[in-house]
Structure 1
Amino acid sequence: MQRNPFETVGIVGLGKMGTAIAAALVKKGTKVYGFDPNLKESPVAGVNLVNTLEVISKEAEVIVIAVKPNLVVPVLKEFSKPSTFVSIAAGISFSQITEAVPKGSQSVRVMPNLPLVSERGALAYFCEDTAAPNVERLFYGMGTTIRVTKESLMDAVTGLSGSGPAYVLTFLQAMAEGGLQEGLSYEESLSLAMETIEGTLVYFRTLRKEDNHLHPMEVRNWVTSPGGTTIHGLDALERGGFSTAVRDAIKRATERSKELGKG
């Protein structure tokens, strides 16, 4: 059942992620108020750019804090009226948010990623039970939303899905360059690589609907013939440390999220 969107949402900070959230909300019919002292005009059609946090506090039912991590607490302390405050900053803990917001507010820690603007985001959040319905309502229709039961897992979410689009795009570029190296044009290689990545994921998702225990490696084996091209390609990936490098990337990004939380 579709949840009714909030009528009004405030977003403080209209960088890449704040803008992505604003655009997704506008598409749902939400009236969005944005505040960003670095901007003279709104980066998203339909977003009402305002000059003060007071307007955000007065007009918005929910307030998304989308500024740099070191600015989250100072910005939250500027508010005096209770509200639901949603921080999307990496490394800023739930307790830091709760201590900074006005008394009587609901605090939420969320880690979204950029694909949410195309309704394919991966979002995880941590909050008290009373705030959970508001989070689901805010991000409904933007992708997969997961509530974690331990706040410590938010750092892992940051390292996996928060930073994940950059890993995928790096892989995409490497595939395109591989085709280019073998004689295809860059545009041909990029088109083939994009469709291969997207098509594989759509196919695997379809298979998982029929068998939710299906493992990626089982499907990989379907296209890996003895002595064929795929096994030789996979061998090259593993000799290059592909799987280990991906795991290490997530581990290092997770560690950095923890470091940011310490200030």
Structure 2
Amino acid sequence: MNPIETVGIVGLGKMGAAIATALVKKGTKVYGFDPNLKESPVKGVVLVKTLEAIRNESEVIVIAVKPNLVVPVLKEFSKPATFVSIAAGISFSQITENAPQGSLAVRVMPNLPLVAERGAFAYFCEDNAATNVEQLFYGMGTGIRVAKESLMDAVTGLSGSGPAYVLTFLQAMAEGGLQEGLSYEESLSLAMETIEGTLVYFRSLRKEDKNLHPMEVKNWVTSPGGTTIHGLDALERGGFSTAVRDAIHRATERSKELGKG
């Protein structure tokens, strides 16, 4: 797949900087605009002083500002371009209605692991812009194109916010080991490898059997009367599964709320 050679990013906060970092790694020429910065937080990104410069230098423009700033930023552009918004809750129609006439619009929800080429993202756009998205995020992880825009809020609640859930679980595991006498570094190291190793293992199993369910593999580790079943019982008495589902639901609802302004 031919990569996009030049990309402009408006807003170099955590997510904008993450995308910039991943693009620079691929050899893409990246131009950044952020009025709050005097220098780029990402080595290799050329910081420009105007949105006009971003437009003139870039094949694709990523809008990585806070949701309430997306529309005002789009209105500042006078020439059509391909605009990719990563803002939670900002609808496809809001992008198309406020971008210059003739522009292509894309709504994307990525997550931070894309910096390590292990991101999860979803996008919604018309057919004529799909290639741009695939080229932009190529090599950054796993992406899906959703058939209905309404599903973007669920993506936001699941994978967009998901790294925070995983890191919270990681910290809880490390604290559990600490509580039982391990050092924090020992606990954290074991917890990280357990989480990552389990996912790598399960992914390898799914290559052989795409219908394999996580709970089936969980049962392989859970022997009658053993340690694991007692640990799982404690998780469920604490409402673990329900809490995770509720977290995704609440984050999804918040994404919808952000779209309403």
1:138 to partner: Cα distance: 0.4
Post-superposition CA distance 1:106-131 (Å, at most 9, x none): 00000000000000000000000110
| Corresponding letter in the other structure for 2:37 | L
Post-superposition CA distance 1:19-45 (Å, at most 9, x none): 000000000000000000111111011
1:21 alignment partner, one of 8, 19, 23:
19
1:146 equivalent in structure 2: 144
Alignment partners' CA distance in 2, 1:4 and 1:29: 12
1:160 equivalent in structure 2: 158
2:217 equivalent in structure 1: 219
TM-score, normalization: structure 1?
0.99
1:86 to partner: Cα distance: 0.1
Alignment partners' CA distance in 2, 1:186 and 1:17: 29
1:180 equivalent in structure 2: 178
Q: Residue 77 of structure 1: SS of its match in structure 2? A: helix
1:81 to partner: Cα distance: 1.0
Q: Alignment identity in percent?
A: 89
1:208 equivalent in structure 2: 206
Alignment partners' CA distance in 1, 2:103 and 2:95: 10
1:78 alignment partner, one of 76, 79, 104:
76
Alignment partners' CA distance in 1, 2:206 and 2:128: 32
Alignment partners' CA distance in 2, 1:5 and 1:259: 35
1:74 to partner: Cα distance: 0.3
| Corresponding letter in the other structure for 2:7 | V
2:236 equivalent in structure 1: 238
- Which residues in structure 2 correspond to 1:16-165 (within 5 Å)? 16-165=14-163
TM-score, normalization: structure 2?
1.00
Q: Residue 258 of structure 1: SS of its match in structure 2? A: helix
Q: Residue 207 of structure 2: SS of its match in structure 1? A: helix
Post-superposition CA distance 1:212-251 (Å, at most 9, x none): 1000000000000000000000000000000000000000
| Corresponding letter in the other structure for 2:121 | L
1:4 to partner: Cα distance: 1.9
1:252 to partner: Cα distance: 0.2
Alignment partners' CA distance in 2, 1:96 and 1:19: 24
Alignment partners' CA distance in 2, 1:54 and 1:153: 33
Alignment partners' CA distance in 1, 2:80 and 2:260: 26
**CA RMSD of the aligned region, Å?**
0.4
Structure 1: 4+ residue segments shifted above 2 A: none
Alignment partners' CA distance in 2, 1:253 and 1:139: 24
Alignment partners' CA distance in 1, 2:213 and 2:77: 47
| Corresponding letter in the other structure for 1:145 | G
Alignment partners' CA distance in 2, 1:145 and 1:76: 25
Post-superposition CA distance 1:153-202 (Å, at most 9, x none): 00000000000000000000000000000000000000000000000000
Equivalenced residue count is 261
Alignment partners' CA distance in 1, 2:25 and 2:205: 30
Alignment partners' CA distance in 1, 2:130 and 2:5: 18
Alignment partners' CA distance in 2, 1:118 and 1:180: 28
1:5 to partner: Cα distance: 1.3
Alignment partners' CA distance in 2, 1:92 and 1:205: 33
| Corresponding letter in the other structure for 1:224 | T
1:249 alignment partner, one of 247, 250, 253:
247
| Corresponding letter in the other structure for 1:148 | V
